[in-house]
Chains A and B, each alone.
Chain A
């Protein structure tokens, strides 16, 4: 029986500590991990809970991230509640097994501390790893601060383990900006948190010898497509389960989450669409611009990156005149992936706001309130003139010569 961990009503935790506390409260059976910066402290903290008797589950140290996710697949298939943590290169090394986990419908929870991908080597935060996982069939939740990293990790178990979902879930937080930044966190008691997450109820576990099952079977053209289509249906159909989980969490904590978060969008003329901590920084900029210059600025933030909330994104943006979508991942010869998805969502409405794309913050490059304001004002200028006057894709916060790509054919 685990030793009781003393929690205060108000704690000052960084995002990594917050995530490790949520893993402890969820009473994970097996955590298999290979620590990598900046997600290391999640595993380190969790390891200390294990060493000091605060958890009953097992911690498996493995020889690589590929092995970490493989161990998670084995433990989850055997019928346990399973979690891990990683970042960047570790995430990339897991890539093969991520698809195995989702294809086998294993509700593993992975806390991902977002970090740039080499080369050049860089330990700081951007969304390259998160984007690498976007077609992997995992549900992807995004935290904008430390408390949200805690809250969403608790929600992740409940969503992924729901018998109508049965899919693995990633909970993303920004490297250093969230993971190593201490802020006020108001945790829920162990009893309430565990009651919310609930007991793990296995489905077709391999250790049920009275009913043998196979995981990871081969299917060629006869059945593969049906499996993958069903898997896609499962992640699309997880939307109401995510909504219901967020509603239940609100009743427990008073903290309200939505798949798409909107700030000051009721009367917004211009908007920034973003992910992660940038959302909150942009929100400060929007509020200041409203007060200082009367610019009706708003922010739309994606809480659930997968399943992509196309329905809610287009609703949030249908009345604005100009939008900038911010991608924190090197697009490698295309428009930003997030820009493409938001633009596609808007194209299914009659609204035709002017949409531009900024690549920003790679390798942890700072994103300031002043820069967010500049972007808002640029959108305002587009809105006033009625067409996009700059290149559609630009770079924010880049030193040296300016790069820009593609010009509008509208207006």
Chain B
């Protein structure tokens, strides 16, 4: 079982990101779960979204998890939210930030001592450059594909095109570019 927790603000696409990831993962024959936990769902409010991935049908419906991956798609939430909550010694962090990994860890005491499993990508800037607005969910998926090693990039892109098929070609292309850039830039 792989468990993933997204930290996001309402409107940044964590719920769509979690569902999109679930959709792609399911095509590999795995069983998936994607859900979110939000309060009154006002745009900008902090929220958490979750994925579970397993070979067998997922029966656990609890929100509680010890995440294998923590994906932070809002730079400020990395500082203000409890992103290391219920973590394990193997939990990997991918954080959206314009800071270098060292600068980020210097600012977040909870990440200190976890340097070898903290990764950064500037998903906000990547989405501004490619999609034209702040939509960090798609780049985060690219970063996750790289760090998790769960898929080949091409396989993920092909399946993501199907998930996005209701959108105009221009938007699909921009998302593909965003995913690819983050895949290449995450470190």
- The chain A residues found within 8 Å of chain B, CB to CB, are 10, 12, 14, 145, 174, 176-178, 180-184, 277-278, 280-281, 283-284, 366-370
Write out, one digit per residue, whether chain B residues 108-139 have a CB within 8 A of any chain A CB (1) or not (0). Answer: 00000000000000000000000000000000
* Residues B31 and A184 in contact, CB atoms below 8 Å apart: yes
Our pick among B22, B31, B60, B63 for the contact of A284 (Cβ within 8 Å) is B60
Query: Is the C-beta of B145 less than 8 angstroms from some C-beta in chain A?
Result: no
| Chain B residue with Cβ nearest A285 | B60
Our pick among B32, B59, B61 for the contact of A182 (Cβ within 8 Å) is B32
Our pick among B26, B35, B61, B64 for the contact of A10 (Cβ within 8 Å) is B26
- Name the distance in Å between A8's Cβ and chain B's nearest Cβ: 9
A181-B33, A182-B33 given; A12·B19 CB < 8 A: yes
A10-B26, A12-B22, A182-B19 given; A366·B63 CB < 8 A: yes
Query: Is the C-beta of B47 less than 8 angstroms from some C-beta in chain A?
Result: no
Interface centre among A10, A182, A281 (most CB of B within 10 A): A182
B35: chain A residues at CB < 8 Å are: 14, 176-177, 180-182
Our pick among B26, B27, B61 for the contact of A181 (Cβ within 8 Å) is B61
A12: chain B residues at CB < 8 Å are: 19, 22-23, 26, 32, 34
Query: Is the C-beta of B62 less than 8 angstroms from some C-beta in chain A?
Result: yes
Query: Is the C-beta of B43 less than 8 angstroms from some C-beta in chain A?
Result: no
- Name the distance in Å between B64's Cβ and chain A's nearest Cβ: 4
* Residues B59 and A281 in contact, CB atoms below 8 Å apart: yes
- Within the assembled complex, what's the spacing in Å between the Cα atoms of A145 and B33? 11
- Within the assembled complex, what's the spacing in Å between the Cα atoms of A177 and B18? 15
- Name the distance in Å between B88's Cβ and chain A's nearest Cβ: 15
* Residues B32 and A184 in contact, CB atoms below 8 Å apart: yes
* Chain B, 35-81, CB within 8 A of any chain A CB: 35-36, 57-64
* Residues B62 and A181 in contact, CB atoms below 8 Å apart: no
Write out, one digit per residue, whether chain B residues 65-109 have a CB within 8 A of any chain A CB (1) or not (0). Answer: 000000000000000000000000000000000000000000000
In the A-B complex, list the 8 residue pairs whose CB atoms are closest, starting with the nearest. Answer: A277-B61, A280-B59, A181-B35, A182-B34, A368-B62, A368-B64, A12-B23, A366-B63
> Which size bracket describes the interface of B in this complex?
20 to 34
A181: chain B residues at CB < 8 Å are: 33-35, 61
A278: chain B residues at CB < 8 Å are: 61
- Within the assembled complex, what's the spacing in Å between the Cα atoms of A281 and B34? 16
- Within the assembled complex, what's the spacing in Å between the Cα atoms of A284 and B33? 15
- Name the distance in Å between B186's Cβ and chain A's nearest Cβ: 25
* Residues A281 and B61 in contact, CB atoms below 8 Å apart: yes
| Chain B residue with Cβ nearest A125 | B61
- Name the distance in Å between A404's Cβ and chain B's nearest Cβ: 24
Interface centre among A177, A183, A367 (most CB of B within 10 A): A183
A370: chain B residues at CB < 8 Å are: 64
B36: chain A residues at CB < 8 Å are: 180
22 chain-A/chain-B pairs, Cβ below 8 angstroms:
A10-B26, A10-B27, A12-B22, A12-B32, A176-B35, A177-B61, A180-B35, A180-B36, A181-B33, A181-B34, A182-B34, A183-B58, A184-B31, A184-B57, A278-B61, A283-B59, A284-B60, A366-B64, A367-B62, A368-B62, A368-B64, A369-B62
- Within the assembled complex, what's the spacing in Å between the Cα atoms of A181 and B23? 12
Our pick among B31, B62, B64 for the contact of A183 (Cβ within 8 Å) is B31
A180: chain B residues at CB < 8 Å are: 35-36
A182: chain B residues at CB < 8 Å are: 18-19, 22-23, 32-35
* Further pairs besides A182-B33, A277-B61, A366-B63: 5, Cβ < 8 Å: A10-B26, A183-B34, A184-B26, A184-B31, A280-B59
- Name the distance in Å between A20's Cβ and chain B's nearest Cβ: 16
| Chain A residue with Cβ nearest B63 | A366
- Within the assembled complex, what's the spacing in Å between the Cα atoms of A284 and B22? 21
B31: chain A residues at CB < 8 Å are: 183-184
| Chain A residue with Cβ nearest B31 | A184
- Name the distance in Å between A375's Cβ and chain B's nearest Cβ: 14
- Name the distance in Å between B160's Cβ and chain A's nearest Cβ: 13
Our pick among A10, A183, A283, A367 for the contact of B33 (Cβ within 8 Å) is A183
- Name the distance in Å between B154's Cβ and chain A's nearest Cβ: 21
- Within the assembled complex, what's the spacing in Å between the Cα atoms of A359 and B35? 25
| Chain A residue with Cβ nearest B24 | A12
- Within the assembled complex, what's the spacing in Å between the Cα atoms of A184 and B53? 11
A10: chain B residues at CB < 8 Å are: 26-27
